[in-house]
Amino acid sequence: MGSIAPTVWPYMQIINPSLTVAMFGLFRGASSLANVIASGIAGALANRFKDTKILIIVGKTLNIVAAVVYLFIELKESFATWLFLSYDIIIGFSGGFASTYRTYIAMESKEEERSKAFGMTMFASSIGFLLGPLIQLLFTLIKYPGVSLFLGFHLNLYTAPVYLAMITTGIGLALLIFLFNGKLRTKKPKPKSNENTTEKISVQYIGLNGYVTTRFGVDVAEDEPLNEVHNVKIDKLAVFVLLVVKVSFDVNMLAITSLMTPYAMTAFEWTSANSVTYMSALMLAIGCASMFFSVGYMFFKFGERIPERIALVIALAIFLMFFVVTYPWAFYKTTIPYQHVVGEQAYYSRVLFTSSLPNFRN
């Protein structure tokens, strides 16, 4: 669904120009809330039934439902606001249910291979971030309203990525249904010798984010089955810290993704078509950066070379640096202009901008 992201706000401006940035932010917030609710439900169900397959399938199915809702926007423009909102909410629920794949990876991978395992999933996402925007750049050649299809639907730069997402998600669903197990299990430990009836094994502690830490030296009877995960212990302090970090990341990402496209269209006088092109190029750059780190974790042991704590601190520092650098400090000689009609005079000073307004002059 990554190729759809650059098209949402520009498409909203084409279908219903009266939709404001505040409403767009509200939609994104509703999506995040749905994600939180679905993640909690999915986590509880995965812990209860020790299975992630159905939950991930539900998430991917909701992806297709969201895509269908998105396509119906052009048929029911009078309901565009509610359809856009429904799309964002369904996408939020989809991501929440599908996020249980992280728990499955954590439980199925060995301690020493866990960074590599998550690097592989990041690698798959990176491929999507690379191919999605690249294909979207090709889709920009299909101008709006585009090629007529059936029942009033059209293929254009705003809807083509949705059809692509439906196809790829359908393939993923088939693979999940027929080839994926999804059971949360650990292997039964082998005895160290025939003389011992107990042995030292590792006990896994799962945080709410799905990541697993391991503590060694726990006595478990040789004949005690460990095929299913039982009596999971939670490090409450670690969970609290990770929740704070996760909230910090998500709040920053929500603010940036909600404001980035509308602000860029205003500041640089982009049309909706221009916005799709430039934002797709930006997503392509993000995919390249993601690919760098995924390859690093897969083949260059970033997980061993860079402690998780240091990695999180660096990431938060980058967020902080972004806000510090982009703040309109007084020593900046030029700033981004205030919103103005394309082709008319642009104002870079708030004083000059407000003095140019009719109500201000009167």
Q: Compute how many other C-beta atoms are within 10 angstroms of the C-beta atom of residue 328.
A: 9
Look up residue 40 and give its two tokens: 């909690």
Q: Please list the residues that pair with 52 across neighbouring strands.
A: none
Query: What band does 330 get if pLDDT is binned at 50, 70 and 90?
Result: confident
- Ordered by start, the domain boundaries in the chain are 5-185+271-306
Write down the pLDDT at residue 211.
43
Alpha-carbon distance 56 to 54, whole Å?
6
Write down the pLDDT at residue 117.
85
CA 303 to chain centre: 21
Write down the pLDDT at residue 186.
58
Q: Any alpha helices (H) in 300-357, and if so which ranges?
A: 302-305, 308-326, 350-355
Which tens digit of pLDDT belongs to each residue from 275-298?
888 988 888 888 888 889 888 888
Q: Among 129, 90, 147, which residue's Cα sits nearest to residue 4?
A: 129
Query: What band does 328 get if pLDDT is binned at 50, 70 and 90?
Result: confident
* Matching residue, tokens 């409403």: 23
Give the domain 5-185+271-306 fold.
Answer: Growth Hormone; Chain: A; (1.20.1250)
pLDDT over 60 (residue 193): no
Look up residue 271 and give its two tokens: 């049309």
pLDDT over 90 (residue 53): yes
Which tens digit of pLDDT belongs to each residue from 236-258?
888 898 888 888 888 888 888 78
